[in-house]
Structure 1
Amino acid sequence: MMNDINKVLKSTAKRLVADHKGLLAMDESVSTCNKRFEKLGIPQTAEFRRLYRELIVTTPGLGDYLNGAILFDETIYQSTSDGIPFVKKLREAGVLPGIKVDEGTIDLIGSPGERITTGLKDLPERLKTYSEAGMRFAKWRAVFSISTGVPTKAAIEANTRELAIYAKYCQEAAIVPIVEPEVLITGMHSIERCHAVTGSVLAELFVQLREHDVNYEHIILKPNMVTSGDSAEMQATPMSVAQHTIECLANHVPAGVPGIAFLSGGQPPATAIANLNAMNLKNGFATPWPVTFSFSRAIQQPALEFWAGKADKVIGAQNLLYTQLERCRQARKGVYRIDADK
Structure 2
Amino acid sequence: MTERLEDIAAKMVADGKGILAADESSATIKKRFDTIGLESTADSRRDYREMFFRTEEAMKDYISGVILYDETLRQKAADGTPLVELIAAAGSVPGIKVDAGAKPLAAHPGETITEGLDGLRDRLAEYYKLGARFAKWRAVISISDVLPSWGAVKQNAQALARYAALCQEANIVPIVEPEVLMDGQPATHSIDRCYDVTEWVLKTVFAELYDARVRLEGMVLKPNMVIDGKNARKASQEEVAEKTLRVLKNTVPPAVPGIAFLSGGQSDEEATAHLSILNSTGTHPWKLTYSYGRALQAAALKAWGGKAANLAAGQRAFTHRAKMNALAAAGKWKQELEKAA
Match of residue 104 from structure 1 = 101
Partner of 1:255: 254
**Structure 1, unaligned runs of 5 or more:** none
Aligned residue-pair number? 335
The TM-score with structure 2 as length reference comes to 0.96
Report the secondary structure of 2:66's partner residue.
Answer: strand
Partner of residue 314 from structure 1, selected from 296, 311, 314? 311
Return the letter of the residue paired with 1:116. Answer: I
Give the aligned residue type for 2:101. Answer: G
Q: CA deviation at 1:10?
A: 1.0
> Matches of residues 285-296 of structure 1 in structure 2 within 5 Å?
285-296=282-293
Question: Residue deviations 1:82-128, cap 9 Å, x none?
Answer: 11111111111101100000010110001000001000000000000
**Matched position secondary structure for 2:213:** coil
Opposite residue 95 of structure 2, the aligned amino acid is G
- Could you tell me how far 1:169 is from its partner in structure 2? 0.2
Contact 1:246 1:285 in 2 (8 A): no
Distance 1:290 1:211 in 2: 25
1:28 aligns with 2:28: no
Residue in 1 that maps onto 2:197:
197
Q: In structure 2, what is the equivalent of residue 49 of structure 1?
A: 45
Shift of 1:154: 0.4
Show the 5 A alignment for 1:107-122: 107-122=104-119
Give the secondary-structure state (helix, strand or coil) at the position aligned to 1:231: helix
Give how far 1:40 is off. 2.0
1 CA distance for matches of 2:214 and 2:194? 26
Matches of 2:254 and 2:188 in 1, distance apart? 32
Matched to 2:107, the amino acid is: G
With normalisation by structure 1, the TM-score equals: 0.96
State the secondary structure of the residue aligned to 1:291.
Answer: strand
Distance in structure 2 (CA, Å) of the matches to 1:269 and 1:119: 30
| Kept in 1: contact 2:223–2:259 (CA 8 A) | yes
Can you list the C-alpha shifts for 1:57-80, whole angstroms capped at 9, x where unaligned?
Answer: 111221211111000000011122
**For structure 1, which segment, 178-187 or 210-219, has the greater mean C-alpha deviation from structure 2 after superposition?**
210-219
The AA in structure 2 aligned to 1:190 is S
1:235 is displaced (CA, Å) by: 2.4
- Assess if the C-alpha contact under 8 Å between 2:15 and 2:330 holds in 1: no
Q: SS at the partner of 2:67?
A: strand
Q: Which amino acid aligns with 2:191?
A: I
**Alignment root-mean-square deviation, CA:** 1.1
Distance across 1 between alignment mates of 2:337 and 2:80: 40
Give the residue type in structure 1 aligned to 2:271: A
The CA deviation at 1:311 is 1.2
Check whether the contact 2:10–2:257 (CA below 8 A) recurs between aligned residues: yes
Counterpart in the other structure of 1:297 = 294
Among all aligned residue pairs of Structure 1 and Structure 2, give the percentage whose two residues are the same amino acid. 46
Q: Distance in 2 between matches of 1:295 and 1:82?
A: 28
User: Where does residue 82 of structure 2 map in the other structure?
Assistant: 85
Amino acid at match of 1:65: Y
C-alpha deviations, 1:198-227, integer Å up to 9, x for none?
Answer: 000001001101111111121100000111
Report the Cα distance in structure 1 between the residues aligned to 2:170 and 2:320, rounded to whole angstroms: 36
Cα offset, 1:14, TM superposition: 1.1
Contact 2:20 2:65 in 1 (8 A): yes
The code of the aligned residue for 1:280 comes to N
Q: Secondary structure at the match of 2:4?
A: helix
CA distance in 2 between counterparts of 1:185 and 1:285 reads 26
Name the structure 2 match of 1:245. Answer: 244
Mapping of residues 185-224 of structure 1, within 5 Å: 185-186=182-183, 187-224=187-224
Letter in 1 for 2:225: M
CA displacement at 1:19 relative to structure 2: 2.3
CA shift, 1:143, in A, is: 0.3
| 1:339 shift after superposition | 2.8
Listed one character per residue, the Cα deviations across residues 240-277 of structure 1 (whole Å, up to 9, x for unaligned) are: 11100000010000011010000111210000000000
Q: Distance in 2 between matches of 1:216 and 1:328?
A: 25
Retained in 2: the 8 A contact 1:141–1:182?
A: yes
